[in-house]
Amino acid sequence: MKHRIQCDKEAGVILVTLEGTASADGFRGLVEDLLRPPCSEVDFPILSDFRALDMSSMTSKEIRRIAEFVASLRTDILPIRHAIVVGHALSYGFTRMYQLLADGRDPQQIRVFYGYEDARAWLGVGDGPREMENGAGDMGDGGAARPVATDD
């Protein structure tokens, strides 16, 4: 599983793109990277793109592991909004499962969406940024993108 993080200070949002085969370890690496600068230095909402992420091999046990890991870091995680955009019913289901398991344990307010317009409206970031709408690999060339790959 690969992830890319971009802290868009102009739009006031952190953009996250995930691709490849999802894994608990991959999500753990993503959370660890989100807790490092520059993301840890701002209290921006997060807009995540899961459309190119294959979650077909995930299990409920792995979703629980992710929720438990995030709960263990709750004092380090800011209480921000996190909108996750998915492209498939399976991704929606697993992400909602995480949302329910993490409720009250993850300081973030998480919502799952099929489209960017609704996700942006909920985050309060209006019409920007639009870079992610073109696909998971196209983050534009602005901002400080940090591609990170796990060994999964």
The strand pair at 109-113 and 144-149 is best described as: unpaired
**What is the identity of the amino acid at 120?**
R
Q: CA geometry: angle at 79 spanning 104 and 127, to 5°?
A: 120
Going by C-alpha positions, the residue among 103, 45, 100, 106 that lies closest to residue 70 is 106
- Can you list the alpha helix ranges (DSSP code H) found in the chain? 24-34, 60-72, 89-102, 116-123
How many other C-beta atoms lie within 10 A of the C-beta of residue 103?
11
- Residue-level pLDDT at 127: 59
Confidence check: pLDDT of 121 > 80: yes
Please tell me the least confidently modeled range out of 26-30, 35-39, 79-83, 130-134: 130-134
Instruction: Give the ranges where 10-115 is alpha helix by DSSP (H).
Output: 24-34, 60-72, 89-102
* Whole-prediction pTM: 0.81
Query: What is the rounded CA–CA span in Å between residue 78 and residue 101?
Result: 18
Q: What is the pLDDT of residues 4-22, one digit of tens each?
A: 999 988 889 999 999 999 9
Q: Which residue has the tokens 């995680």?
A: 77
